[in-house]
């Protein structure tokens, strides 16, 4: 099932998207529930409830404003750094210069603040040259946790995946490298476009799909998720070691090779650029940088 959060007539709704991605029908739920997007519905279904019924009214997706499927995450978004082999290589002279990609025992994990989430077609605001001159894109598959838990074993981890969505882990490279921790360079306002909807795990195998990024019509990234250094079960096992994961938690699983910083010379984003992230089995998001 594809579950979208969207605005229609100035009201936020959660709805079921048709398999061709062209129409959406709102779930019949209160405004309080819809305010958190898919989060409350997901929690209810994980607890054994049924999906609510949907309105008989079919809206064209082109007539609504899509928002992030979980527009107000309950807490920070978990993110994984350097998680594709080729991407680790391309950054081996910069942000990852101290590490050997072949002997890394543990994934790099950081977070983005929930308030940086924006919709799948919203603008991303460049913070201004006085703050950063090195804004970069990172196309990523995001896992949405269903059943929560602590100390989840990799062998059981896929049972905790509710679904998947797309994020662009937008990054200020100069700020990322200035601080020992990455959160600041990753958390600027609007730096986490997400969507266009969530696809449930029964319809998509996130361990076998493909992540692409296109900047102004030029393809920059194209990587299969099989090439992750730490696969999705390992990421869930690692992050849940001693930390309870909750329903609705989001894990951005890292980006393939081809980021702007890895090009020779590096090519950073500027006002007017349009960045599209596509994942097979989900769809695409597309954001103008202003
Ligand atoms: Mg990233």
- Dump pLDDT digits (tens) for 101-133: 556 889 999 999 999 999 999 999 999 999 999
**C-alpha of residue 63 to centroid of ligand 1, in Å:** 31
**C-alpha of residue 66 to centroid of ligand 1, in Å:** 23
pLDDT in tens, 54-81: 999 999 999 999 999 999 999 999 999 9
**C-alpha of residue 50 to centroid of ligand 1, in Å:** 34
| Structural domain total, the chain | 2
**C-alpha of residue 177 to centroid of ligand 1, in Å:** 14
Q: Assign 252 a pLDDT band (cuts: 50, 70, 90).
A: very high
pLDDT at 95 over 70: no
**C-alpha of residue 253 to centroid of ligand 1, in Å:** 7
Q: Which domain holds residue 122?
A: 77-288
3-state helix, strand, coil in the chain (%, to 5): 20, 35, 45
**C-alpha of residue 287 to centroid of ligand 1, in Å:** 17
pLDDT at 18 over 70: yes
Predicted pLDDT of residue 90: 86
- For the record, the structure tokens of 269 come out as 């984003």
Q: Are residues 131 and 211 in the same domain?
A: yes
**C-alpha of residue 110 to centroid of ligand 1, in Å:** 9
Residue 169 lies in a domain: yes
Residue 72 lies in a domain: no
- For the record, the structure tokens of 75 come out as 């807490």
**Cα(181)–Cα(112) distance, integer angstroms:** 11
Q: Are residues 152 and 83 in the same domain?
A: yes
Give the pTM. Answer: 0.96
**C-alpha of residue 8 to centroid of ligand 1, in Å:** 31
Q: Are residues 30 and 147 in the same domain?
A: no
Supply the mean pLDDT for the chain. Answer: 95
Beta bridge mates, 147: none
Which of left, alpha, beta for 151 (phi over 0: left; psi -120 to 50: alpha)? left
Predicted pLDDT of residue 100: 53
**C-alpha of residue 252 to centroid of ligand 1, in Å:** 7
**C-alpha of residue 58 to centroid of ligand 1, in Å:** 36
Q: Assign 230 a pLDDT band (cuts: 50, 70, 90).
A: very high
Predicted pLDDT of residue 249: 98
**C-alpha of residue 25 to centroid of ligand 1, in Å:** 32
Residue 274 lies in a domain: yes
Whether 183 contacts 110, CB under 8 Å: yes
**C-alpha of residue 169 to centroid of ligand 1, in Å:** 5
Contacts of 9 (CB under 8 A, 6+ apart): none
Residue with tokens 């006002």: 271
DSSP assignment letter at 48? T
**C-alpha of residue 257 to centroid of ligand 1, in Å:** 11
**C-alpha of residue 126 to centroid of ligand 1, in Å:** 17
Predicted pLDDT of residue 98: 58
Residue 261 lies in a domain: yes
Q: Are residues 146 and 181 in the same domain?
A: yes
Predicted pLDDT of residue 127: 96
Residue 248 lies in a domain: yes
Q: Are residues 243 and 181 in the same domain?
A: yes
């Amino acid at each position: 099932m594809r579950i979208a959060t969207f605005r229609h007539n100035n009201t936020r709704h959660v709805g079921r998207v048709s398999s061709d991605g062209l129409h959406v029908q709102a779930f019949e739920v209160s405004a309080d529930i819809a305010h958190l997007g898919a989060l409350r519905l997901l929690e209810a279904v994980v607890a054994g409830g049924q999906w609510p019924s949907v309105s008989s009214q079919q809206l064209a997706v082109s007539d609504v404003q899509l928002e992030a499927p979980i527009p107000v995450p309950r807490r920070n978004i978990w993110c994984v750094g350097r998680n594709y082999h080729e991407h680790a290589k391309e950054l081996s002279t910069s942000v990852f210069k101290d590490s050997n990609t072949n002997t890394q025992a543990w994934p790099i994990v950081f977070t983005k603040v929930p308030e940086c989430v924006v919709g799948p077609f919203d603008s991303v605001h460049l913070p201004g040259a006085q703050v950063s001159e090195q804004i970069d894109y990172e196309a990523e598959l995001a896992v949405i946790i269903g059943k929560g838990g602590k100390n989840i074993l990799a062998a059981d981890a896929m049972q905790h995946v509710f679904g998947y969505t797309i994020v662009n882990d937008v990054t200020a490279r100069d700020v990322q490298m200035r601080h020992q921790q990455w959160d600041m360079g990753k958390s600027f306002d609007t730096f986490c476009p997400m969507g266009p909807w969530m696809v449930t795990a029964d319809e998509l195998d996130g361990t076998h799909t493909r992540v692409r990024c296109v900047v102004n019509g030029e393809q920059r990234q194209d990587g299969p998720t099989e090439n992750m250094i730490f696969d999705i079960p390992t990421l869930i096992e690692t992050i849940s070691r001693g930390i309870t994961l909750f329903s609705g938690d989001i894990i951005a699983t890292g980006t393939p090779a081809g980021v702007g910083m890895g090009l020779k010379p590096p090519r950073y984003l500027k006002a007017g650029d349009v960045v599209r992230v596509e994942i097979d089995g989900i769809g695409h998001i597309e954001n103008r940088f202003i």
